[in-house]
Structure 1
Amino acid sequence: MIIIFSILNLTFILLLRTIFIVIFGLAIYQGYLSVSKDSGKTNHKISIIDKYGSIVPYWLPLLEGSMNFGMRVISQYPKYISLLYGKYILPLLEIYIAYPILAFVVFFLLYYLFIRLDRPIRTSSFVRFHILQAILLFLINSVLGASYKSLPIEFRSSLAGLAVTNILFLFTVSTIIYSVIKSIEGQYPEIPIISEAVKMQISEINQ
């Protein structure tokens, strides 16, 4: 029975690694296509500062998702992914965990400075769209993380719990990578439900 469980566990981990590598590869390929398009045709409506400035707020949901899900499963991914995670994300994540109030301070500052009707900083709709979407992804990850932690420890430590953790972590990473690529392209991402909700909110703010 133990041998069968070990085989199933190994098979499951290999499958998850394969899925992650495919998603990562597609993201790199899409990024290459984006750079190729930008080199041949410049988007004059959205400045380079707006494009790359819109990437910064996505660190908030990335750290939240990494804290809730990534730390539990990152050791199961390929070694180079774990090394990148440990080098670039883990140092920030340690600060994020040590001072949890920082997340909500950044959250309220982003909303106060860039999103609300009487905001003190005036930016383009493109930048505000990405900031608001990053805020919404942060809230979604916070709710999912709290819901997951409320589940029995027996479930979270089981194979099914591991599957749920990986799915939630892949959701976080894939939506952020996709949004960052679209930001670099100077385009609006189309994440079902989430992006539509952001567009509706931005439209109301602009009225």
Structure 2
Amino acid sequence: MSRILIVDDHALVREAMAQSLARLQPGLVCVEASSADQALSCLERDAELDLAVIDLMLPDMNGFSLLAVLGKRFPAVPAVVVSAIDDEASVRRAIKAGALGYVSKSSSSQVLLQALRVVLDGGVHLPEARSVAPPLKRASMPACERYELTAAQGRVLELLAAGKSNREIADLLDVSEGTVKVHMTAIFRALGVSSRAQALVVMSRHGTRLMK
């Protein structure tokens, strides 16, 4: 069951979005915030939030600035921008600031749901016909160096990023599944995350290469 934070200063928009997101998965929980300050308070109180949906036009801080704050304080929580502003410059700026998805408010609810599915699965969603590069080039430091991982942990992380299951990783590395789980626990701790999806989000957000 996912918990999604909706950040928009219009109550009707938040309510409509929450109704649409209810179709994403059974039991999904939406937490609402009308400002950047409220959003940050929600993130501080609720460690179980899986994703933030952010409008760019907020009363106390613009969405671009909020994205930057999220990247520093809550790097494991991916963010998707949903805004009436959908020019290419704004999309580029949002992605550069750390957003992993961008959806125009003129889009259908199906487009929004698809975008959130992609981001929750560790991917990046961009508006159609955009050539905006995702934020994968902001750092060139290998994961093993940045997060002080061992070579074995780096190999496990590389296969995790390739979508392999624990069993598949164990078979490919010729180790036990228990050993893979031990490595996964160490990797999650080093990245400050608690799931595979969050690990991929952190790697994508910081643009870290897996190996030298």
TM more than 0.5 = no
Q: Normalised by the size of structure 1, how large is the TM-score?
A: 0.30
Bigger Rg, structure 1 or 2: 1
If each structure's strand is expressed as a fraction of its own residues, which one has the higher value?
2
If each structure's helix is expressed as a fraction of its own residues, which one has the higher value?
1
- Identify which of structures 1 and 2 has the higher relative contact order when contacts are C-alpha pairs closer than 8 Å and 6+ apart: 1
